[in-house]
Amino acid sequence: MTNPLATIGRVFLNALAEIGRLSHFAAVAVMHIFMPPIYWRLALHQMWLIGYNSLPVVGLTALFTGAALAQQIFVGGSRFNAESVVPGVVVIAIVRELGPVLGGLMVAGRVSSAMAAELGTMRVTEQIDALTTLSTDPINYLVVPRLIAAVLTLPLLVLVANTIGVLGGFVIGTERLGLNSGTYLQVTTDFLEKADIVSSMVKAAVFGFVIALMGSYHGYNSRGGAQGVGKATTNAVVSAFIMILLANLIITVIVFGNQV
């Protein structure tokens, strides 16, 4: 006999406890960034894994999205004889929203899962405990390099994604929709503002933090063998997705909420 109210209460309390544990883990991890040693070699290795290896998937995502976006804006805009808005809307949509969000989601799919699986396996095979016995702080050795690498790498990746996304729109716009290439580039640069690029980079850095935090948190705290590692991997990706979309909304409201 389960009281439905008790079930609701339990779910709610569990969620609060999980938020508390995650916040505590995040606070400890951030504090350790300022507590040497920092393993720069490991951070560089992670930057390579996160950044360079994600380039193809992030680039293709941006290319196809930018191209599809240009096509849709053209169709929508032509109802009002407003085909000329294509370059402006494409660059704003890509730089402000789609570049960082889709880039972040793609990297989260690749990287949060890999981090959770690696740290989760290290946890269940006692490798994390072994670090402690070898006078090495596991947070410093495992979590801090991943956080630093993701926060520094995601803005670079998103910069590439933004460029390729705009390029995708440009290719469809000029090759298929008959827009003038010189005008297209002119309108693109006219519409783009410094605040757009800055907000895009800020979003990317925040998403990088979320990706590394979720991968590390779920991996570091995984329990119960192979099944536990599998669960940690899934939870890492799902929670990173949700957190990226939520963080995106919050940053968008803060940065652009007052512009009417």
Partner 1 sequence: MIKQTNITPMIQMDNVHKSFGTKHVLNGLNLTVQKGESVVIIGGSGTGKSVALKSILGILKPEQGSIKVDGREITTLSNRERKPVLAKIGMLFQGAALFDSIPVWQNVAFGLIQGEGMNKHDAREIAIEKLRRVGLTPDVGDLSPAELSGGMQKRVGLARAIASEPEIIFFDEPTTGLDPIMADVINDLIVECVQDLGATTLSITHDMASARKIADRIAMLYQGKIIWDGDKNEIDTSGNDYVDQFIHGRAQGPIEMQLLKP
- Establish if 132 lies at the interface with partner 1 (CB under 8 A): yes
**Segment interacting with partner 1 (CB under 8 A) among 89-97, 128-136, 149-157, 176-184:** 128-136
Q: Which residue, 19 or 35, is less far from partner 1 as judged by CB?
A: 35
Binding residue (CB under 8 A) for partner 1 from 35, 68, 82, 226: 35
Gyration radius (Cα) of the chain, Å:
21
- Establish if 125 lies at the interface with partner 1 (CB under 8 A): yes
- Establish if 258 lies at the interface with partner 1 (CB under 8 A): no
Binding residue (CB under 8 A) for partner 1 from 2, 81, 135, 258: 135
- Establish if 16 lies at the interface with partner 1 (CB under 8 A): no
C-alpha separations of 34 from 37, 69, 146, 209 in Å: 9, 43, 14, 16
**Segment interacting with partner 1 (CB under 8 A) among 130-138, 213-221, 225-233, 241-249:** 130-138
Binding residue (CB under 8 A) for partner 1 from 23, 24, 126, 183: 126
Q: Which residue, 127 or 163, is less far from partner 1 as judged by CB?
A: 127
Of 105, 99, 109, which is closest to residue 59 (Cα–Cα)? 99
- Establish if 53 lies at the interface with partner 1 (CB under 8 A): no
Query: Which alpha helices (H) appear in 79-224, and where do they start and end?
Result: 86-93, 99-107, 113-124, 127-133, 138, 144-175, 181-191, 194-220
What distance separates the 2 farthest-apart alpha carbons in the chain?
72
Axis crossing angle, helix 194-220 with helix 144-175, rounded to the nearest 10 = 140
- Establish if 227 lies at the interface with partner 1 (CB under 8 A): no
Cα gap 213→31, rounded to integer Å: 13
Q: Which two tokens stand for residue 254?
A: 């803060």
- Establish if 127 lies at the interface with partner 1 (CB under 8 A): yes
Cα gap 197→96, rounded to integer Å: 7
Q: Which residue, 176 or 223, is less far from partner 1 as judged by CB?
A: 223
Binding residue (CB under 8 A) for partner 1 from 137, 167, 202, 256: 137
Cα gap 88→51, rounded to integer Å: 28
Q: Which residue, 126 or 175, is less far from partner 1 as judged by CB?
A: 126
- Establish if 129 lies at the interface with partner 1 (CB under 8 A): yes
Altogether, the residues listed in the chain come to a count of 260
The site for partner 1 (CB under 8 A) is made up of 35, 122, 125-127, 129-130, 132-137, 141
